[in-house]
């Protein structure tokens, strides 16, 4: 069977009448594209759509998601949500949980920064969205590139430099919830260094956000943890740089033009945000607002 199906082929594949399929197309409930006057249906997108249980009454399919940005925490994004008057609340629980909530319609935007064990992180975000069942209609918007590193007390009293030195010294190390971008980065760094998780002296429970790690380092409850340069600078901590990463926003195409997201995207283009990024440190916003994926 071809990858791109015609209307009659798609109807047969989905076991629907052509009339019902046209109703779904008219309501934008099924993944399709119009090319030279004909509707074409990507078979893999149809498979994801069906497996996610997205065939539903139009009234259910069009229920608006709450005005919440889920996913990962970021100081610059948190500031932009306040200053833009976009009316979007923040629910930072980690990148993978943000995508799950977006799939279930529990947030309107998910903020993500994902990492892979093989080290190919440049496209990790867009590939994760493209492969997630239920996000066939998602768009990925670039927010920033961020510098991630290891937060330590001023003066770096344990002389830490990398994962090997952390494991060898027995430094009390922060961990983040499963599925959080920083936790995925920690796992990737350990895998690349050939170090098992149980070789670290991990603090419990997991820390929800980077600022929570910074506070624990300042209080002397832990010795180190992964967070961004902006978090380290605001807390007055030393910072051992590790890598630059993509921090992106994900939402459904139909929600892109709603007032809340549009207010945020408009503010993202203002010079005041670029000034704030410079002030916080550890950000590259050269391609902020660029569309990285239309699923």
Q: Are residues 20 and 107 in the same domain?
A: no
Q: Are residues 160 and 188 in the same domain?
A: yes
- At residue 160, the pLDDT reads 97
**187-233, pLDDT tens digit by residue?**
999 999 999 999 999 999 999 999 999 999 999 999 999 999 999 99
User: Distance between terminal CA atoms of the chain?
Assistant: 22
- At residue 91, the pLDDT reads 96
Q: Are residues 55 and 92 in the same domain?
A: no
State which residues form the domain around 14.
4-61
Q: Are residues 46 and 191 in the same domain?
A: no
Given 61, 81, 99, which residue is the final one in a domain? 61
Q: Are residues 194 and 267 in the same domain?
A: no
- At residue 58, the pLDDT reads 45
Distance CA 86, CA 99 (A): 21
Q: Are residues 165 and 219 in the same domain?
A: yes
Q: Are residues 27 and 171 in the same domain?
A: no
pTM for this entry? 0.80
Q: Are residues 234 and 260 in the same domain?
A: no
What is the dihedral sign for C-alpha 206, 211, 180, 195? negative
Distance CA 277, CA 291 (A): 20
- At residue 59, the pLDDT reads 40
Structure tokens of 121? 């992180």
Q: Are residues 198 and 270 in the same domain?
A: no
CATH number at 42 reads 1.10.1660
Q: Are residues 38 and 122 in the same domain?
A: no
Given 33, 61, 89, which residue is the final one in a domain? 61
Domain count, the chain: 3
**Which of the residues in the chain have pLDDT under 50?**
54-61
- At residue 1, the pLDDT reads 67
- At residue 119, the pLDDT reads 64
Q: Are residues 192 and 269 in the same domain?
A: no
Q: Are residues 158 and 209 in the same domain?
A: yes
């Amino acid at each position: 069977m071809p990858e791109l199906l015609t209307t009659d082929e798609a109807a047969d594949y989905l076991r629907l009448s052509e009339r019902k399929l046209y109703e779904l197309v008219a309501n934008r409930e099924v993944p399709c594209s119009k090319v030279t006057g004909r509707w074409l249906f990507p078979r893999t997108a149809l498979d994801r759509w069906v497996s996610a249980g997205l065939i539903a009454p139009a009234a259910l399919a069009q229920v608006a998601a709450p005005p919440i940005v889920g996913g990962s925490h970021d100081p610059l994004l948190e500031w932009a949500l306040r200053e833009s008057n976009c009316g979007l609340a923040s629910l930072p629980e980690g990148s993978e949980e943000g995508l799950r909530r977006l799939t279930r319609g529990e947030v309107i935007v998910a903020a993500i920064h994902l990492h892979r064990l093989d080290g190919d992180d440049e496209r990790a975000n867009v590939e994760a969205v493209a492969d997630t069942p239920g996000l066939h209609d998602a768009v990925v918007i670039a927010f920033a590139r961020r510098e991630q590193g290891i937060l330590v007390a001023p003066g770096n009293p344990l002389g830490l430099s990398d994962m090997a030195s952390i494991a060898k010294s027995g430094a009390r190390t922060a961990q983040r919830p499963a599925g959080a971008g920083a936790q995925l980065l920690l796992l990737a760094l350990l895998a690349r260094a050939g170090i098992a998780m149980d070789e670290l002296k991990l603090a419990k429970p997991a820390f929800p956000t980077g600022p929570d790690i910074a506070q624990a380092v300042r209080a002397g409850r832990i010795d180190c943890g992964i967070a961004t340069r902006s978090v380290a600078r605001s807390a007055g901590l030393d910072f051992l740089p590790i890598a630059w990463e993509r921090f992106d926003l994900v939402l459904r195409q139909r929600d892109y033009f709603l007032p809340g997201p549009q207010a945020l995207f408009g503010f993202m283009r203002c010079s005041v945000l670029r000034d704030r990024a410079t002030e916080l440190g550890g950000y590259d916003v050269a391609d902020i607002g660029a569309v990285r994926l239309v699923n």
